[in-house]
Amino acid sequence: MPIAVPAYGCYDLATAAEGADATVLFYDLDPLTLAPDLAQVHAALRQGVAAVVVVHPYGYPIDIAEVQRLAAETGALVIEDAAQAACADLDGRPVGTRGSLAVMSFGRGKGLTGGSGGAVLAYDDAGVRILKRATGLLGVPRRGWPELFTIAGQLVFERPSLYALPAALPLLRLGETIYREPRPLRRPTPVSSPVIAATWHLAEREVETRRRNAMRLLSALRWLPGFKTISSPMHARPSYLRLPVLVSPAVRPLASQRGARRLGIMPGYPQPLCDLERFSSRCLNRNGAFPGSRLLVARLCTLPTHGRLRGSDLERLEVWIRTVGGREDALPITPGDR
């Protein structure tokens, strides 16, 4: 049975589907909220999907209540992809605790790191049964040396003043979105689990800093015609892994220039998942329109929010926002803009 996944998102969604030998049905996203298009989710459920994957992108909580209601009508599972949403919450409850299953990431730049890998959490009987079967597929762990070097490098080079050094090395492919081949499932390394346990409280403290930085940047972005900010549900507290923003056609090329990259400004995913050639054989509706996802590819950029940003870094970001967002050719963005 196929799995329903968003047409716009991290390429690791495609990698996971390939690793599970699953076919997929895509559904579109609302570009102003990053939430699922419920009509397309409903259509996918009517075609008999076994599960719906809902992603909380960039640390923005997505209210999955209506998706859960629709899925319950057909008996499909709801899987929350909370890989980018560590420490985000909705209605006082952590993101990634409402579906049958939830996925967390401990990779580089995910807010809660163990060097690599992640976790799958189960919250009901159906999820527990799946998790027990999956546990039997886990191979022996690696010794953990790559994870140790990754953690050390992240601590050293995540400062904006030093980031240019690793970013200049093509081998590292930092900031690129690449399609990764599935890897054999393994148990956690001896390094990862202790690091996660020891730094969990640091992640909680870091997210408060990211929220303050995001609020400052959001204040600069408001009312400028070249930008449109993303809305989150009421009573949501995003963790702002990065700050996503829609930009006008005039601003988008400027956001890809070297000067913007040095400030930590990055474009979103360069293709919708339905356009990935290496993934095409698994896609049952790859020729769908998906206008919201295509708008996100064309217009979404993200700004840094992390705790290593200094006051001067934030000031430079604010100057860039005012300079490019207030241009006369930076036409306002409307929901129907494509």
250/110: higher pLDDT: 250
Distance CA 79, CA 181 (A): 22
Residue 58: closest CA among 257, 250, 232, 212: 232
226: number of CA atoms within 13 Å, CB side? 21
Residue 112 backbone zone (phi > 0: left; psi -120 to 50: alpha; other: beta): beta
Q: Between 158 and 250, where is the model more confident?
A: 250
Task: Using pLDDT thresholds of 50, 70 and 90, give the confidence band for residue 1.
Answer: confident
Task: Tally Cβ neighbours within 10 Å of residue 75.
Answer: 9
* pLDDT tens-place string over residues 45-101: 999 999 999 999 999 999 999 999 999 999 999 999 999 998 899 999 999 999 999
| Mean pLDDT computed over 273-301 | 93
pTM: 0.84
In a domain, 176, yes or no: yes
Domain contains 336 = no
In a domain, 337, yes or no: no
Question: 157 vs 244, which has greater pLDDT?
Answer: 244
pLDDT for 322 beyond 50: yes
Q: Which amino acid is at 279?
A: F
Q: What is the pLDDT of residues 32-45, one digit of tens each?
A: 999 999 999 999 99
Tell me the CA end-to-end span of the chain in Å, nearest whole number.
Answer: 33
Mean per-residue pLDDT of the chain: 85
Rounded to an integer, the average pLDDT of 217-235 is: 94
What is the total count of domains within the chain? 1
3-state secondary structure of 69: helix
Q: Do the domain assignments include residue 312?
A: yes
User: Residue 311 pLDDT more than 90?
Assistant: yes
Q: Which residue has the higher pLDDT, 114 or 237?
A: 237
Residue 338 lies in a domain: no
Q: Is residue 335 part of a domain?
A: no
Domain that includes residue 184, residue range? 3-325
Q: Is 203 among the domain residues? A: yes
**Residue 171 pLDDT:** 52
**C-alpha span between 144 and 187 (Å, rounded):** 11
For residue 275, the domain's CATH number is 3.40.640.10
Q: Which of 78-92, 143-157, 161-175 has the highest average model confidence (pLDDT)? A: 78-92
